[in-house]
């Protein structure tokens, strides 16, 4: 007769990407005596692009073998194409600048992967994200605990910006083992654990775009359309291949045919997708396009909601220095952000993420 243990190990499915961060995360979980299973999540990659996922899967399998843990593969390529790639292309076509990594985390990694893992008997899913989770004690008159999302200890690698759309039901089942470490410490641990990915370089940019760049990727789906480059006086000074290829603050991707006497570089300060025009300005003159107030939609608060009389911080780009601001709730239920100082390079479609110190409260999409 088999005698069953009184205690059951907590079961964790970790997304092994084939990179050093998720590899170390798996080793740390194992060290903490979790029952860990490595899972390689296959996402969509274009048939015409580089087929890098096979190399990543091989590295993920090598890590699982080295650590002696079970290994599974989950193909979410179809869902990724529909929920992330199609959305991104649609947003660019409309003249907005989306954050596909935000959607990937919400819909794929902590959406479909989490749901699948729970059906397989997992208590948690884990990844190599540089972020932290903090579960607070149950408060009076509240039915459930509030799980907080915190910035990673290494502020130069913090990835909480990409996790702002996570809901309580998702976050309570998430583990981020490397979030409490500096990247340099993670590299050292990778060598100490003898992981085959210890020397592997970090991936750069959006995974499915690869080395070709966003504009070249979009050209496969959006037909280039020659348009006018305007200066602040509304005079034509150049041309471009399509307003939807460009984003606010960009200084390349268009041609200036009428040079200024100062010969300073130009930056995109506004664009009109309908007329297929962009307006550019030099560093000296573009300040007039700066904004102090930003309107948001598709707002999501992870748990705690901001209050109007408190100072907060926010960023509208990954790893941007946190900017002091106030949050104002409008009568229609929407929110606006008022920065202490005017900001440049704000583009519609980007995520604006709000912080209270190290806590990530959530955010919204810039209108």
Distance from C-alpha of 176 to C-alpha of 22, rounded to nearest angstrom: 9
Q: Examine the residue annotation and report whether 325 is marked as an active-site residue of this protein.
A: no
Distance from C-alpha of 158 to C-alpha of 28, rounded to nearest angstrom: 19
- Nearest Cα residue to 222 out of 77, 91, 97: 91
| 104, 174, 325, 360: the active-site residue | 104
Q: 267 is written with which tokens?
A: 């930056």
**319: number of Cβ within 10 Å:** 11
| 174, 207, 325, 360: the active-site residue | 207
Distances (CA, A) of 272 to 5, 60, 243, 311: 66, 44, 7, 34
Identify the DSSP state of 104.
I
Give the helix/strand (H/E) hosting 184. Answer: helix 183-192
Q: Are 198 and 354 in contact (CB under 8 A)?
A: no
Q: Examine the residue annotation and report whether 207 is marked as an active-site residue of this protein.
A: yes
Q: 156 is written with which tokens?
A: 């130069």
Alpha carbon 63 to its chain's center = 25
DSSP conformation letters of 286-307: GGGG-EEEEEEEEEEESSSPP-
Distance from C-alpha of 25 to C-alpha of 80, rounded to nearest angstrom: 24
Active site residues: 104, 207
């Amino acid at each position: 007769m088999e005698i069953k243990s009184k205690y059951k190990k907590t079961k964790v499915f970790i997304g092994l990407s084939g990179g050093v961060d998720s590899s170390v995360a798996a080793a740390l979980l194992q060290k903490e005596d979790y029952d860990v299973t490595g899972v390689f999540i296959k996402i969509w990659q274009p048939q015409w692009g580089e087929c890098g996922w096979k190399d990543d899967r091989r590295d993920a399998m090598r890590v699982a073998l080295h650590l002696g843990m079970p290994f599974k593969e989950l193909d979410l390529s179809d869902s990724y194409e529909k929920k992330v790639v199609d959305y991104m292309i649609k947003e660019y076509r409309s003249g907005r600048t989306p954050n596909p990594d935000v959607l990937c985390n919400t819909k794929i990694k902590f959406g479909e992967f989490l749901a699948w893992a729970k059906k397989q008997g997992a208590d948690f899913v884990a990844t190599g994200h540089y972020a932290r989770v903090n579960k607070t004690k149950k408060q009076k008159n509240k039915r459930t605990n509030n799980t907080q999302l915190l910035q990673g200890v290494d502020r130069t690698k913090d990835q909480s910006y990409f996790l702002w759309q996570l809901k309580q039901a998702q976050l309570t089942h998430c583990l981020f083992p490397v979030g409490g470490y500096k990247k340099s410490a993670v590299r050292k641990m990778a060598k100490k654990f003898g992981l085959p990915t210890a020397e592997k370089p970090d991936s750069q940019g959006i995974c499915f775009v690869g080395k070709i760049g966003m504009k070249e990727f979009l050209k496969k789906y959006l037909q280039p359309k020659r348009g006018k480059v305007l200066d602040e006086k509304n005079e034509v000074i150049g041309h471009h291949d399509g307003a939807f290829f460009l984003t606010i603050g960009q200084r390349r991707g268009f041609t200036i045919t009428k040079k200024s006497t100062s010969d300073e570089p130009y930056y995109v300060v506004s664009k009109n997708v309908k007329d297929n025009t962009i307006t550019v300005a030099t560093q000296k003159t573009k300040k007039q396009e700066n904004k102090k107030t930003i309107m948001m939609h598709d707002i999501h608060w992870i748990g705690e909601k901001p209050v109007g009389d408190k100072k907060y911080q926010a960023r509208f780009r990954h790893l941007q220095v946190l900017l002091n601001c106030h949050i104002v709730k409008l009568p229609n239920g929407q929110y606006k952000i008022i920065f202490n100082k005017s900001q440049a390079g704000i583009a519609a479609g980007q995520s604006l993420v709000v912080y209270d110190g190290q806590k990530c409260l959530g955010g919204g999409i810039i209108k």
